[in-house]
Amino acid sequence: MGVGSPTQLTTQPQQGSDLRKGSDKGLAKVSVIVIAFRDHSVIGVCGDRMYWIRSKKLKERLALGFGASLVLFTLLLVIDLQMDLGVSRGEFIPSHGRVRFASEDDKSGIYNEFHRKYLAKSNASGSKEYLTTNPHTRGRTDTSGAGYPSKQVTTAPPHDRFKDLTALVVAPKNRRNPQFYERIVVKEDQSDDENPTLAEMLDLRVSPNATNLERFQLSITKNELYAKSDKLVDAVIQDMVSMPIKHVVQKEGGTQIKLIIEYPNDIHALFKPMRFPREQQTLPNHFYFTDYERHNAEIAAFHLDRIMGFRRAMPVTGRILNITTEIERLCDDNLLKTFFISPAGNKCFHGKCSYYCDTSHAICGSPDTLEGSFAAFLPTQADTQRKVWRHPWRRSYHKRRKAQWETDRDYCTMVRDIPPYDEDRRLLDLMDMSVFDFLTGNMDRHHYETFKIFGNDTFPIHLDHGRGFGRPFHDELSILAPLLQCCLIRSTTLETLLLFHNGPKSLSETLRDSMANDPIVPVLWEPHMVALDRRVAIILQAIRDCVKKASEEEDFDAAGQNHLDQSFS
């Protein structure tokens, strides 16, 4: 075959799906005639058709690949927004919450300003928390508890009586021309406020043979769980301490083990067992949502809620149980299967739950004696339904992602426009809750509940305080974010804080007296008592900063108005 001579090549019909898809219908075979010459080549019509088919498939592949890449890229962005993988390198805020920041360094206004000032002050005076966690200083402690510093590093500053805040509390309310500070320290009119009980709302009468808990539940009012001088509180506590236990079952749901205690008279209590000693602090590498729950925190929180005048927490008391006779022999089969004897000879059980319900995180007696907290039950949902609300200052419950309130300086402005926070008492109640949680150190406030029958103008119930009182040497200022961002507090709450701060009895002394008769006294480790008084002063300083900032803005507005008046005169 010469190089310059033409050559006719005939190919047989190609079998397979590729050719059938690219060919016209009814085409039986394809003949490709290629005539090659030394200087040039000619491609036949059939060759053009095959080239077009192959070229089209390549474009389709490219199109499919490009489309798949777009889908994967979009999916990656969506996952990044939800899981914060670090691709977007930022926090996306919904359009209704976006604002322009006057200063990129201060996106949370007075909250960040107060936070920076407090940290600078703490660093200058020396951190006790560092002394409790630093292995080089851990040996220089006394025997009052693990990691408690034996000596003060600095001298305590002079006592500040906050006379400026006291003047705001005692000042009469100006109805015609409200002063600027009345937007911060709010004085409510409760003289004509109706305060019906559950019994009145349900049209029920208390039967003569009703239990103390049933009487307590029916006496719950629109404004509080119990009155200041209500003797039923102590009666309910005494019943939970002294009455024999009839049956035990594990409470469904929740992240950690809790038991429902049933008494012979058909009343119930929620039991949280003791996990570790009083002086055990929150593990430094634990997030707030994985922290252990502490039984003594529930007891102390109830007493603190009571002496602060909130009265929004159900009665809680401590009690010492025998695991064998009062739990193991009275529990259901599911819980019974988790009992065992530890290598140290102690009776243990772990139940079933989301966290810490396995052999390595078991609840153990000494050897079979166990203390825990007993919380009285709220009325059943069948009698009085409760509405669950998502807390506006809820944390992200994520290892890296931040909540919107942590990045938006005008977050409170948005919250004020949303029912039920736009009227009545609810926003003030959240300020009380912020103060209460800051005093206990509880960061785990994601939801709260109210009684539906009372509508929206009622109090939030203070529930679930097991993650409080875990870090006595650390003050978590982010818990005060609602108060610092809104610059709002009840006058009665401020008055109570000032009373404890200036005496004659401090908050820690009052709380110690309140818990003196509890069966598991001492309820709290002493450093937690010191922390309470320290945190009272921090709250008062935060309110002072709010008033100062509002005063500066008031003076600025007045100066601007005077300038305008002079310009037009």
449 is in an annotated binding site: yes
Asked whether residue 107 is assigned to any structural domain, the reply reads no
Lowest pLDDT segment from 24-33, 60-69, 351-360, 499-508 = 24-33
User: For the chain, how many helices (H) and strands (E)?
Assistant: 17, 14
Q: Can you tell me whether residue 218 is helix, strand or coil?
A: helix
Averaged pLDDT score across all residues of the chain: 81
Domain end, chosen from 63, 83, 103, is at 83
Asked whether residue 315 is assigned to any structural domain, the reply reads yes
Asked whether residue 38 is assigned to any structural domain, the reply reads yes
As a 3-state breakdown, the chain gives helix, strand, coil percent values, each rounded to 5, of 40, 10, 50
Q: Are residues 206 and 71 in the same domain?
A: no
Dump pLDDT digits (tens) for 295-332: 999 999 999 999 999 999 999 999 999 999 999 999 99
376 is in an annotated binding site: yes
Q: Are residues 69 and 167 in the same domain?
A: no
Q: How confident is the model at residue 371 (pLDDT cuts 50, 70, 90)?
A: very high
Nearest to 515 by CA among 473, 463, 469, 480: 469
Q: Are residues 69 and 121 in the same domain?
A: no
189 catalytic, yes or no?
no
Q: Are residues 121 and 71 in the same domain?
A: no
Asked whether residue 193 is assigned to any structural domain, the reply reads yes
Domain end, chosen from 33, 60, 83, is at 83
- How many structural domains are present in the chain? 2
378 is in an annotated binding site: yes
Q: Are residues 446 and 537 in the same domain?
A: yes
Q: Are residues 335 and 482 in the same domain?
A: yes
Calpha distance 327→338 (Å, rounded) = 12
Q: Are residues 306 and 439 in the same domain?
A: yes
The residue segments making up the domain with residue 65 are 17-83
Query: Does 27 have pLDDT greater than 60?
Result: no
Asked whether residue 105 is assigned to any structural domain, the reply reads no
Q: Are residues 78 and 207 in the same domain?
A: no
Q: Are residues 535 and 405 in the same domain?
A: yes
Lowest pLDDT segment from 95-104, 109-118, 211-220, 443-452 = 95-104
> What pLDDT does 197 receive?
95
What percent of the chain stands above pLDDT 70?
A: 73
Q: Which of 9-18, 197-206, 509-518 has the highest mean pLDDT?
A: 509-518
Calpha distance 548→535 (Å, rounded) = 20
Q: What is the pTM of this model?
A: 0.76
* Residues linked to residue 318 through DSSP beta bridges, in sequence order: 373
Of residues 6 and 128, which shows the higher confidence score?
128
Q: Are residues 367 and 284 in the same domain?
A: yes
Asked whether residue 459 is assigned to any structural domain, the reply reads yes
Q: Are residues 43 and 181 in the same domain?
A: no
Of residues 148 and 251, which shows the higher confidence score?
251
Q: Are residues 74 and 167 in the same domain?
A: no
Asked whether residue 102 is assigned to any structural domain, the reply reads no
Residue 405 DSSP code: G
Dump pLDDT digits (tens) for 519-560: 999 999 999 999 999 999 999 999 999 999 988 887 655 555
Say which of 444, 457, 533, 545 is annotated catalytic.
444
Asked whether residue 5 is assigned to any structural domain, the reply reads no
For residues 498 and 162, the answer to whether their CB atoms sit within 8 Å is yes
377 is in an annotated binding site: yes
464 is in an annotated binding site: yes
Query: Does 94 have pLDDT greater than 70?
Result: no
For residues 473 and 141, the answer to whether their CB atoms sit within 8 Å is no
